Every structure is written in structure tokens, then in C-alpha cells.
Structure 1
């Protein structure tokens, strides 16, 4: 019986073609270390990719969830400290790219902790969080190492782990020639953090 991993292997070997969305669940279905190692063996920097993907998988659970959710417990203070570092990473990136407006927004934003219910519709609005995501996403696409169908499909599979672009870029960072601290996002995510940037606040809550 064919498995998603088998499909992935023949796709990477050029023996068959699949739309990249076919592999959205690749690392949710095949999440053991040997399976992750096999899936990533087709790419340069494979060892680094395996370490990152396995690190993320081990930091979360799929139990009763459609996407991977973090399982690490932390205090509110620790979560806010990681949120601050993540916000600083965004500010530094915006400054480096010369986006003064977003840099100033990140710089002056005040941390505000609350419950998830308070922010349920926040990410649906046209807000600085989405502007920064678009800015980073454009740079990631311009700085991908291979620009092959297999690489695009890999990032689709990485996104499918948690439906999270920043987390996908953290896992796939060895294939991105971009000076950006995605680890600060992973450290925030693994504590269950969600952050929404407004024009003067960085709202933080738990998943």
C-alpha cells in the first residue's frame, strides 16, 4: 500500500508529480525520527533540517488536535520574556530592510497579556502583525536556496505541521539564505505563545 512518505520519495526522485498540497500532512503522518530523516535526505543541509523538524515535533502533540500544539509549561513571566525577544527580532528585521514604519511600531509596542478569547478575531484584521508576516514571507521566498518544486512542497509540508508560517520557516531555515532570528519565534511558540501586534501594543496569549 502506498503511503504519503512513499509518494514523497518518488516525487523527490523525479519519478512522479504531485501538487505540493498533497504533502500538507507529511510530517503529521510520518513523525518518527527515521521517517523525518528519510523525508529530508533529499535536501542539502539534511542533518540540520532533521534536527529542527524533530525538535518541533518533540515539543508538541497532535492528540485531539488537527495541528501540532506545544506541550511545554511555563510561567506568564517566562512567556512574556520570550514574547519580548520575538518582538525585538521583528523590529531588528524591519529596521534592516529599511521599513521605518514597521520598525517604529515594533519598537514602541507595549506587551499586554490576556486570554485567547479576547483576541479570537484579531488575526483577521488588517494589522501590523500581518504586515510583518507579509514582509518576512516576501523575503523568505526571495531567499530560498533551491527554488525547486520539491523545496516548495517541503515548505508546504512544514507549514502543515502547525498551520504556522513562522514555525515552518524555523524548521526550514537551513534552506533560507536570510538573516532572521526564527528561533526566537520557536522559543515563544513552544511555550504556547500567540502574539498579535497592533499599532501600539503586542498582545500575548496562550493557545
Structure 2
């Protein structure tokens, strides 16, 4: 058992205290990856958490990178389909949770394939893509089944897998009491898809 996994167990059993950032690389620790059951054993629905974590870890590779990178590929046409399905789910969620403006913006946008550099430039802007992310994030934080230190540390460790909050929320979905289908985001991510919502269009690209 690695020292980081030992720290995790001691932390969850309240034998030691660490800042949540201490576990940022927990799922990139070789020993920990082979002990997912032990990591998630401290949480309800642990079997579902293990399954989702395996889904993500099996779909990507570090390959000398700081964060997990998806290994799947698909056609540009399929990327547009996956991205559109995820956008429709975001629109549905915004409508259900009362933000009709975000729901309207996301419902009328048409998907177009662009280069990855265009997506990277766009995501830095003040655009609906970021407003929806903040909106979903606020509801995720308010809907966690467990409001304890272990939960906050777990979410930090899950973010550390790929520096991706949506992916972290996909894995942690069994701990989130929220009606949003994050599986649709995972399906886009695992084939290397990225998308950014502007006022009138959804920019879609591949980072592979």
C-alpha cells in the first residue's frame, strides 16, 4: 500500500488530518488505482463509484502527462452527435432548475466542428458555456449526499484525475442528489471530444 493510500485511509478513519489538496494525485498513484474498493469503501454506493472510476481510468492514459488523457476516437460527425446530446441534457437541466435564459440559449445553438485551437481560445471568454458550468457546479455543491471532509477530499481527488470537474462529477454521481445525466459528458470525453457553447453555436473539436 502506497503512503498516499495509507494517508487516505487514516484521513477517512479520522486518524489523521490532511488538506484536501493532499489527495489531488490519489487516483494517479499506481497502488491506489489497484485498490479502488479501498478508496471508495468509506462512502455509500461504493460499488457504483468503483465502476464509474474504472470506466474513466480504463478510457484514458497518463502516458507521461500530468493528467489522464482519453484514448478513444471517433469521426467528426459522431463527435457532433455526442456533443449535441450533452448540450441537450444541459439545456434540460437548466430548464428544470429554473434558469430559462440558459435553457433557451443552449436549446437554439447549432453544433459546428472547429479546430482545437478555436475551442481553447473560446473557453477563455465570458460565454454561456462558462455560465452553464457555474450553474451546474453550484447545484452539485448544494446536492452532495455527504457534507463532510472526506467528501470534499474525494471530489478534489476525482478532479485530479483529468483536471476536469464534469468528469469528477460523473464518477461521483452516486453521491450527488441531482437529476442530470453526466454519462452523456463521459461519452463525449472518452472519444476525445470537447465542446464550447457560444451565444448562437456549439463549437466542437477533438483534443486527440
- TM bucket (normalised to shorter chain) is over 0.9
Partner of 2:107: 107
| 1:98-139 Cα distance to aligned partner (Å, 9 max, x none) | 211101110110101011112222222111111001100110
Contact 2:32 2:39 in 1 (8 A): no
Partner of 1:140: 140
Looking at structure 1, the residues matched to 17 and 31 of structure 2 have their Cα atoms a distance apart, in angstroms, of 23
Q: Which runs of 5+ in 2 are unaligned?
A: none
Partner of 1:119: 119
Partner of 1:91: 91
Q: Does 1:157 align with 2:153?
A: no
The aligned length equals 207
Partner of 2:24: 24
Shift of 1:33: 5.3
- Trace 1:163-174 onto structure 2 (pairs within 5 A): 163-174=163-174
Looking at structure 2, the residues matched to 31 and 135 of structure 1 have their Cα atoms a distance apart, in angstroms, of 36
Shift of 1:29: 1.2
Say if 1:75 and 1:32 are closer, same or farther in 2 by CA, change over 3 A. Answer: farther
Over aligned residues, Cα RMSD in angstroms?
A: 1.3
Classify the secondary structure of the residue corresponding to 1:177.
Answer: coil
| 1:58-92 Cα distance to aligned partner (Å, 9 max, x none) | 00000021111100121111111111100100010
Contact 2:144 2:175 in 1 (8 A): yes
Q: Does 1:51 align with 2:51?
A: yes
Q: Which runs of 5+ in 1 are unaligned?
A: none
Classify the secondary structure of the residue corresponding to 1:65.
Answer: coil
Q: Does 1:205 align with 2:205?
A: yes
Partner of 2:9: 9
Contact 2:26 2:157 in 1 (8 A): yes
Classify the secondary structure of the residue corresponding to 2:35.
Answer: helix
Say if 1:170 and 1:23 are closer, same or farther in 2 by CA, change over 3 A. Answer: same
- How high is the TM-score relative to the length of structure 1? 0.96
Higher alpha-carbon deviation: 179-188 or 71-80: 71-80
Contact 2:27 2:33 in 1 (8 A): no
Classify the secondary structure of the residue corresponding to 1:121.
Answer: helix
Classify the secondary structure of the residue corresponding to 2:93.
Answer: helix
Contact 1:5 1:30 in 2 (8 A): no
| 1:161-187 Cα distance to aligned partner (Å, 9 max, x none) | 001110000000000000001000000
Contact 2:20 2:153 in 1 (8 A): yes
Looking at structure 1, the residues matched to 9 and 67 of structure 2 have their Cα atoms a distance apart, in angstroms, of 23
